[in-house]
Amino acid sequence: MIRILPFLAAGLALGFAPALAAGPDLGAVEKSPTNWPAIGMFLFFVLFTLGITYRAAKGSKSAADFYAAGGGISAGTNSLAIAGDYMSAASFLGISGLVYSSGFDGLIYSTGFLVGWPIVLFLIAERLRNLGKFTFADVASFRLDQTSVRIISATGTLVVVAFYLIAQMVGAGKLIQLLFGLPYLYAVVLVGALMIIYVAFGGMKATTWVQVIKAGLLLGGASFMAGAVLYQYGFSPEKLFAAAVQTHPKGDAIMAPGGLVTNPIDSISLGVGLMFGTAGLPHILMRFFTVSDAQAARKSVFYATGLIGYFYILTFIIGFGGIALLMSDPSYFKLGADGTTYDKLKDMLGGTNMVAVNLANAVGGPYFLGFISAVAFATILAVVAGLTLAGASAISHDLYAQVFARGRTTEKAEVNLSKASAVGIGIVAIVLGYIFENQNVAFMVGLAFSVAASCNFPVLAMSILWRGTTTWGALLGGLVGLVAAVSMVVLSDAVWVKTFGHPVALFPYANPALFSMPLAFLTIWGVSVLDRTRRGNRERAAFDAQFVRSETGIGASGAHAH
């Protein structure tokens, strides 16, 4: 069972779901003829968002416009954008597919993804808004050495973005292949080209509005589906569960924890990674700089938590709806040799990730199916655009402007470099998406979460919350967390055995966060305590000014005065 865990952990972690990662399951590709209603609706979405990008491009002049949408996004809009960043095609298709095949176990992921948000709100959100400008490295390096801390923060950002992006690109290619009947390479190039256009021309404004529209469509579509399912059972979840238990081959077992999480250490480590990884995802942290002040940042997390929680409840109902309404209907399955028998769990058309899509057809007919397919594509597109912007900002704002040019650059040059970086990242993503087509990339999103929890989050939290943090502590601690998280995953079953073909995994667990995150915190603490340099003393003394500003937003006025 430990073997299944990394696969699911990563596959479901907003990337895409396991069956999509496994090549052979996609034999269903030939079965999907070109889906015209879906393509039509998707083209409409693309044209509409390109229109928004055009308008955003005309209005985006300054660096603040490009990185932070001019700080003019309202709390309500930002909460939809945050929720949109978080509700990927994997949450939607992957978790409803997991609920379909295992029932209760889907809840383990739903809860894990949600519980990071209160932590973000209580410890990070307002302080981040008060201290930062465009990226979380602004905050982490506020009183520390710009060069060192920006290097480690930007590295953490780029590693997270790279793994996340590869997983999304491969998932996108396969999903589009399946939904629209387009060849894999075309699909990957299409996604890459569109995300370059959104980010390079429209910056944060376009990226935000694409995300908001998609979040609205996804929540609307999922609400309709869950409502249609419940309607058939007189809006009684109890009747729905009873029908599902009767139909599902595992029977009553779907209402209880199953085999997904059997190793206690691994399940807790998974929980740590999901919970604290959320607080270290660079594309999520960037969203706190798009609102006007700390109050708006606070409210956006509150609304976003509600939207995301609501969405996970919907996916749960959709999964159970899939069991109750699809399992007994042979038209949604590949039939066996005799033409009548099929495996309810394995033979679904397109794999179990297609539960939500097939259910859309069952409750709303072919046009609703087209709509949900288009929404799934839009979802991927919006998420990769957000990731690309986070990566481009790290390259231009952190690495170029502060590390290479040492602050001696113009805003215009920085924004231009950021646009060029977006193009570069897009091209790299297309190439990697193509290279990794037939690789097992399911562990990559889990790895992205682990790195976020073990490098970005400790550096950020310690520099904001602990007076004693020095540059050496943050630099070495972040580095240790990053290296530990990556190497533990490389030595785990998912990579060491499945990809490299070694007989035994050297690291026994699928999820490293339980070990790598405390290691990072300990290193930051230990090195900072031992740091007796003059710079270290100066940095500890500078904490007071940072503290006042982080708690009130007031210290920032000093920047105007002199």
Partner 1 sequence: MNTIKTIGASAPLAATTVHGAGDGLEPDPRLDRVAANPIFQTLVRERTRYGWILTGAMLVVYFGFIGLIAFDKALLATKVGGTASLGFYMGMFVIVFAFLLTGIYVARANTRFDRLSAELVRSLAK
The footprint of partner 1 on residues 450-489 (CB under 8 A) is 471
State which amino acid sits at residue 8. Answer: L
Measured from the CB atom, the residue of 267 and 440 that comes closer to partner 1 is 267
Closest approach, Cβ 380 to partner 1, in A, equals: 25
User: How far is 246 from 537, CA to CA, in rounded Å?
Assistant: 67
Binding partner 1 (rule: CB under 8 A), the pick from 37, 216, 518, 553 is: 553
Binding partner 1 (rule: CB under 8 A), the pick from 62, 331, 438, 533 is: 62
Measured from the CB atom, the residue of 64 and 213 that comes closer to partner 1 is 64
Measured from the CB atom, the residue of 232 and 292 that comes closer to partner 1 is 292
Closest approach, Cβ 153 to partner 1, in A, equals: 13
Task: With beta carbons less than 8 A apart as the criterion, state whether 456 and 519 touch.
Answer: no
Region from 57-65, 169-177, 328-336, 373-381 binding partner 1, contact rule CB under 8 A: 57-65
Tokens (6 digits) for 325: 């309404």
Measured from the CB atom, the residue of 374 and 390 that comes closer to partner 1 is 390
Contacting partner 1 within 533-552 (CB under 8 A): 535, 538-539, 541-542, 544-545, 547-549, 551-552
Binding partner 1 (rule: CB under 8 A), the pick from 24, 33, 339, 407 is: 407
Which positions ≥6 away from 44 have C-beta within 8 Å? Answer: 374
Measured from the CB atom, the residue of 142 and 209 that comes closer to partner 1 is 142
Tokens (6 digits) for 393: 């900002």
Task: Tell me the C-alpha to C-alpha distance, in Å, between residue 92 and each of 57, 282, 377, 384.
Answer: 31, 22, 12, 16
Measured from the CB atom, the residue of 58 and 406 that comes closer to partner 1 is 406
Contacting partner 1 within 89-108 (CB under 8 A): 104, 107-108
Angle of CA points 121, 124, 126, to nearest 5°: 75
Contacting partner 1 within 332-391 (CB under 8 A): none
Name 348's bridge partners.
333
Region from 34-42, 49-57, 285-293, 496-504 binding partner 1, contact rule CB under 8 A: 285-293
Closest approach, Cβ 527 to partner 1, in A, equals: 17
Contacting partner 1 within 172-211 (CB under 8 A): none
Contacting partner 1 within 255-284 (CB under 8 A): 255-257, 261, 263-264, 267-268, 271, 275
Provide the H-helix boundaries in 394-507. Answer: 411-435, 443-451, 457-465, 471-490
Closest approach, Cβ 506 to partner 1, in A, equals: 23
User: How far is 183 from 434, CA to CA, in rounded Å?
Assistant: 12
- Number of neighbouring beta carbons within 10 Å of residue 258: 17
State which amino acid sits at residue 558. Answer: G
Residues in the chain: 562
CA-closest candidate to residue 377, choices 168, 97, 209: 168
Measured from the CB atom, the residue of 143 and 174 that comes closer to partner 1 is 143
CA-closest candidate to residue 383, choices 157, 191, 115: 191
CA-closest candidate to residue 169, choices 25, 452, 383: 383
How many residues bind partner 1, per CB under 8 A? 89
- Number of neighbouring beta carbons within 10 Å of residue 49: 26
Contacting partner 1 within 483-522 (CB under 8 A): none
Binding partner 1 (rule: CB under 8 A), the pick from 78, 141, 379, 511 is: 141
Tokens (6 digits) for 172: 């996108």
Measured from the CB atom, the residue of 143 and 283 that comes closer to partner 1 is 143
State which amino acid sits at residue 156. Answer: G
Contacting partner 1 within 289-328 (CB under 8 A): 289, 292-295, 298-299, 301-302, 305-306, 309, 312-313
Region from 21-29, 248-256, 341-349, 516-524 binding partner 1, contact rule CB under 8 A: 248-256
Please state the three-class secondary structure of 29-70 as a single string.
Answer: HHHCCCCHHHHHHHHHHHHHHHHHHHHHHHHCCCHHHHHHHH
CA-closest candidate to residue 104, choices 299, 363, 313, 316: 316
Tokens (6 digits) for 127: 């302080």
Name 73's bridge partners.
291
Q: Rule CB under 8 A: say whether 234 interacts with partner 1.
A: no
Measured from the CB atom, the residue of 110 and 177 that comes closer to partner 1 is 110
Measured from the CB atom, the residue of 92 and 180 that comes closer to partner 1 is 92
Measured from the CB atom, the residue of 341 and 552 that comes closer to partner 1 is 552
Helix (H, G, I), strand (E, B) or coil at 291: strand
Closest approach, Cβ 277 to partner 1, in A, equals: 14
Task: With beta carbons less than 8 A apart as the criterion, state whether 404 and 72 touch.
Answer: no
Region from 249-257, 355-363, 453-461, 515-523 binding partner 1, contact rule CB under 8 A: 249-257
Measured from the CB atom, the residue of 149 and 284 that comes closer to partner 1 is 149
Closest approach, Cβ 304 to partner 1, in A, equals: 9
Closest approach, Cβ 81 to partner 1, in A, equals: 17
Binding partner 1 (rule: CB under 8 A), the pick from 142, 163, 333, 443 is: 142
Contacting partner 1 within 409-428 (CB under 8 A): 411
Phi, psi dihedral angles at 194 (to 5 degrees): -65, -40
Measured from the CB atom, the residue of 113 and 333 that comes closer to partner 1 is 113
Contacting partner 1 within 118-137 (CB under 8 A): 118-119, 121-123, 126, 129-133
Binding partner 1 (rule: CB under 8 A), the pick from 5, 21, 63, 453 is: 63
Tokens 């193509």 appear where? 434
Task: With beta carbons less than 8 A apart as the criterion, state whether 198 and 385 touch.
Answer: yes
DSSP characters for 73-118? B-HHHHHHHHHHHHS-HIIIIIHHHHHHHHTTHHHHHHHHHHTHHH
Q: For the chain, what is the radius of gyration of the CA atoms?
A: 23
Name 333's bridge partners.
348
Closest approach, Cβ 220 to partner 1, in A, equals: 20
Closest approach, Cβ 466 to partner 1, in A, equals: 12
Closest approach, Cβ 178 to partner 1, in A, equals: 30
